[in-house]
Amino acid sequence: MHRPLDLSHVISPSLRDLVELANNHGFDRVTEQIRNLRGCTSPINLQGWSTTADRTTGEVIRSYRSEDEPSGRLLTTCGNRRASRCPACSRLYAADTYHLIKAGLSGGKQVAESVRHHPRAFVTLTAPSFGPVHNRETDNGTTRRCRCGTHHTENDPVLGTPLNPATYDYTGAVLWNAHAGALWARFTTYLRRALAELLMTTQSALNAALRLSFAKVAEYQKRGLVHFHAVIRFDGPDGHSSRPPSWATFQDLRVAVGMAVKRTRLTIESDAVGERVIAWGKRFKVDRIAALADGELTDAKVAGYIAKYATKNAEGAGTVDRTLVCRPCSGRGYVRGPDRFHDLCADCEGTGQAERLASLPVQQHVRQMIRTAWALGHLPEFADLKLWKWAHILGFRGHFSSKSRAYSTTLGALRDVRRAWRLAQAEAARARAGLPATGDNTTLVTDSSWTYLSSGYRPGEELLAAQTRHEIEHQRRFRHEEGDLCLPPS
């Protein structure tokens, strides 16, 4: 029986809660549960139960109830891909993305290894100019002077900001971000058309002999505009399992990308801002991805590059990583009262903003892009874009990473593999306990019921989670240093 603790002398609430946890018989289980989260910063708190039984015999194979936990709840990872929100979960997402991209370049994960011999390109597509900005261009390794007359350092905060904000086309920049995803979709269509024209065949004949597979990721430039990095690969008509025809070469892919970049256009019309043409910038790159690591741009480098940016949001442009929409009124500025009339939202005082734009800790350039996105989002002609919802990421509405269906495996398939591994571990533990193993022909049925409680840790649990993060980071650094020691001398 526990004696009540007198912790009145402990000032820190976190330390007080940790002492209370440590005085509990279930402290080891609390620690185990937190360690299993691998340092997740904002775990999901669930309450409920799950039972897995043999459909034929009714025998219960596994059962779990959150009320049996010392804290009365189950903690599970948040699964957020953004490194600014949860570094632990974002590392897992980055690892999955790496394997997904790598499988489409080298094979594996049920992808034929022959894909490494298919023509493959690493393509970079950029946004056009909406006005001159401070930059740091290099020429043969030498940094050139900016148009403002200054040699900017690499981390100079003015990089990417307009030389003359009064003449910078903020409306065009935000609208470009808003339509970048649609522009990419149209680019893939024009790329197929360009290939058919270049190879002097029809699109139907081309589709019967050749398939385009791709994976792409969006990255923010310092000026606040997204650009895309993509792996584009030639396949046979059956996807990665079939070789493309010999007459489809990397040079054809390079030329076709250039043709598609110049031809891809989106035209939008508005009474407020006039007619706008959304197109790619003049600068684009098409690099060959070498097979068998015999070139500068290898499979592993490309996969690592794309995986790194798959966990980023708009932080590289200096903006915030949270929505600016007032949740009680959903950005409308009003709520419906008991009489069904519109009442001013007390939380945002009618602005619809969760935070005042003027008080955001961002540069003036980013603040103006946010203001522009918010204002455009309330124009009737742009209502379907919901730009006020995406103002915090400067109007970009597309997916940060995507791929074609036949490129490689899927993130869901990779998660299924981990789930199968965990089930195998549970079966091994069952066998060690002397319980009969489930047969290969056994049909298992899982029945469960879960309720969301909250997100985050108790104060004392947060200290345990911080210790777990420290240990994981220490192990990562140790493995990295050991890897460096094992490298052959240069």
How sure is the predictor about 330, in pLDDT bands with cuts at 50, 70 and 90? Answer: confident
Question: What local confidence, expressed as pLDDT, does residue 4 receive?
Answer: 67
Q: What is the mean pLDDT of the chain?
A: 88
Question: What local confidence, expressed as pLDDT, does residue 487 receive?
Answer: 36
pLDDT surpasses 50 at 305: yes
pLDDT surpasses 70 at 394: yes
DSSP 192-242: HHHHHHHTTS-HHHHHHH-EEEEEEEEEE-TTS-EEEEEEEEEEBTTBTTS
Mean pLDDT, residues 55-80 taken together? 89
* Residue 399 three-state SS: coil
How sure is the predictor about 2, in pLDDT bands with cuts at 50, 70 and 90? Answer: low
Q: Read off the pLDDT of residues 167-182 as tens digits, 9 standing for 90 and up.
A: 999 999 999 999 999 9
The pTM score is 0.84
Question: What local confidence, expressed as pLDDT, does residue 297 receive?
Answer: 82
Describe the strand order of the beta sheet including 211-220 as a list of residue ranges: 284-288, 120-125, 226-235, 211-220, 401-403
Mean pLDDT, residues 136-142 taken together? 77
Mean pLDDT, residues 27-38 taken together? 91
Q: How far, in Å, CA of 280 to CA of 192, rounded? A: 17
* Ramachandran sector of residue 260 (left: φ over 0; alpha: ψ -120 to 50; beta: rest): alpha
Burial class of residue 45 (count of CB atoms within 10 Å of its CB; 0-12, 13-18, 19+): buried
| Residues 50 and 69: beta-carbon distance below 8 Å | no
Which is more confidently placed, 155 or 490?
155
Q: How far, in Å, CA of 183 to CA of 189, rounded? A: 10
Q: What angle do CA 89, 94, 96 make, to 5 degrees?
A: 95
Question: What local confidence, expressed as pLDDT, does residue 424 receive?
Answer: 84
pLDDT surpasses 90 at 367: yes
Q: Which amino acid is at 164?
A: N
| Residues 388 and 331: beta-carbon distance below 8 Å | yes
For the packed helices 87-106 and 459-485, what is the interaxial angle rounded to 10 degrees? Answer: 40
Q: Read off the pLDDT of residues 414-458 as tens digits, 9 standing for 90 and up.
A: 999 988 888 888 778 878 877 777 777 778 888 999 999 999 999
* Ramachandran sector of residue 58 (left: φ over 0; alpha: ψ -120 to 50; beta: rest): left
How sure is the predictor about 486, in pLDDT bands with cuts at 50, 70 and 90? Answer: very low
Question: What local confidence, expressed as pLDDT, does residue 484 receive?
Answer: 46
* Residue 382 three-state SS: helix
Question: What local confidence, expressed as pLDDT, does residue 482 receive?
Answer: 63
Question: Percent of the chain having pLDDT more than 90?
Answer: 49
Mean pLDDT, residues 132-153 taken together? 84
Q: Is the dihedral of CA 410, 413, 418, 419 positive or negative?
A: positive
Q: 307: which 2 tokens?
A: 């995986």
| Residues 395 and 388: beta-carbon distance below 8 Å | no
Which is more confidently placed, 11 or 143?
143
Q: Read off the pLDDT of residues 331-348 as tens digits, 9 standing for 90 and up.
A: 888 888 888 788 889 888
| Residues 275 and 121: beta-carbon distance below 8 Å | no
Burial class of residue 487 (count of CB atoms within 10 Å of its CB; 0-12, 13-18, 19+): exposed
Mean pLDDT, residues 100-127 taken together? 91
Which is more confidently placed, 139 or 121?
121
Measuring CA to CA, which residue among 275, 273, 179 is closest to residue 226? 179
CB atoms within 10 A of CB 450: 14
